[in-house]
Structure 1
Amino acid sequence: MVKSQLDNYARHNSTDEELVKLFLESQDNRYFEKLYERYSFKVYQKCLSLIKDASKAEDLTHDVFLKLIFKMDTFKEDAKFSTWLFSITYNHCMDLLRSNKKRVVTVYEETADLVDDYDILAVFEADEVNMQSLKHALDQLTLDDKALLFMKYMDDLSIRDIAKTFKLTESAVKMRLMRSREKLKRKYYEALLFQ
């Protein structure tokens, strides 16, 4: 194979971690572009789930990938790229929301996406969950509570990965997750009562 064919093969058949290594070694943007292709929509969805504004989520997605270019050399080879990227995404969104110190107006109202994209329903033992009440309950939670639940139930991150993101101990994450689940359940059942 000639070099261009090898490069093309490497871009399309490499793991995320291999693409990071190839990008760092060569500084060839095609490797970064492949990572962008794989993850831009997922990052956008994560931003949207926290920000609730489609145009801001787009801007934040671009910000995250710009930040990623400059942080790429801090990636640890034994880590999983997607976990690292989602950690950067959550931290970036949470920093923005904390700096605004106000609730963001919900512009995106697709409750159908909750069923398809979120596994947050795993918090409930019931077979049926009222999606409108669930959405209302989620809107009542703090940003930290939402982020914890999303990371655990939407992204299926391990307690260890969540602890690294929040810079907490694993036992602190377990305790906060338990409290966040209880708050969500309480808010959910309150919303059901007042329907």
Structure 2
Amino acid sequence: MLETLVNNYARHNSTDEELVKLFLESQDNRYFEKLYERYSFKVYQKCLSLIKDASKAEDLTHDVFLKLMFKMNTFKEDAKFSTWLFSITYNHCMDLLRSGKKQIVTVHEEKADFVDDFDMYDIFEVEAVDTRKLRAALKQLNVEEKAMLYLKYMDNRSIRDIANIFRLTESAVKMRLMRSREKLRKKYQDCILFS
């Protein structure tokens, strides 16, 4: 009885990293299930934002967690679980897209107000932009450019996190972010001029 209470307490009040450790030590699926409960919807949203197909995103979410279960022993204790999970999710979706199984790629268009989540001042150095034109400008970026901008300006991920996700150096991420911001600004200005 006491062991059950301790296990329940640990499962519900542990950090993600502690749950990983508990799962690896005990192989008790309840710890993995708790991680699934915490992150399945977020993983689904990330898959949907990259694939834009709800049923495919559901399948990919299950694939990611299946892959996660087998890769759990590769988790580094000093890493942040959510960043590691997002990296697995992103790479799994990108592998699918690269394989040619899905030709049309759009990011976050299903969410009508997604542009409101951007930190506009950091990108445009103004407080407000025309969201319709911003959507049009974002459509002209490639998937990697959009993903980097979303990670930095919507999810507030650090340069280090983004570097880990994309398997790049931090300086390469800074350079790509700068280029993506500039490209988005130019595309946005073109939308304003030619509308």
Name the TM-score, length of structure 1 as normaliser.
0.90
Q: Partner of 2:11 in structure 1? A: 11
**Which amino acid counterpart does residue 185 of structure 2 have in structure 1?**
K
Give runs of aligned pairs for residues 17-166 of structure 1, distance below 5 A.
17-100=17-100, 102-104=103-105, 109-115=110-116, 118-121=117-120, 122-166=122-166
Please list every run of 5 or more consecutive structure 2 residues that lacks an aligned counterpart in the other structure: none
Maintained 8 Å contact 1:47/1:57: yes
Maintained 8 Å contact 1:111/1:135: no
Offset at residue 20 of structure 1 (A): 0.2
Secondary structure, aligned partner of 2:78: coil
Maintained 8 Å contact 2:64/2:89: yes
**Alpha-carbon distance change, 153 to 35 in structure 1, aligned in 2, over 3 angstroms:** same
Q: Partner of 1:190 in structure 2? A: 190
Secondary structure, aligned partner of 2:187: helix
Maintained 8 Å contact 1:53/1:105: no
**Alpha-carbon distance change, 124 to 108 in structure 1, aligned in 2, over 3 angstroms:** closer
Q: Partner of 1:169 in structure 2? A: 169
Please list every run of 5 or more consecutive structure 1 residues that lacks an aligned counterpart in the other structure: none
Offset at residue 23 of structure 1 (A): 0.5
**Which amino acid counterpart does residue 21 of structure 1 have in structure 2?**
K
Secondary structure, aligned partner of 2:127: coil
Maintained 8 Å contact 2:22/2:31: yes
Name the TM-score, length of structure 2 as normaliser.
0.90
Offset at residue 193 of structure 1 (A): 3.0
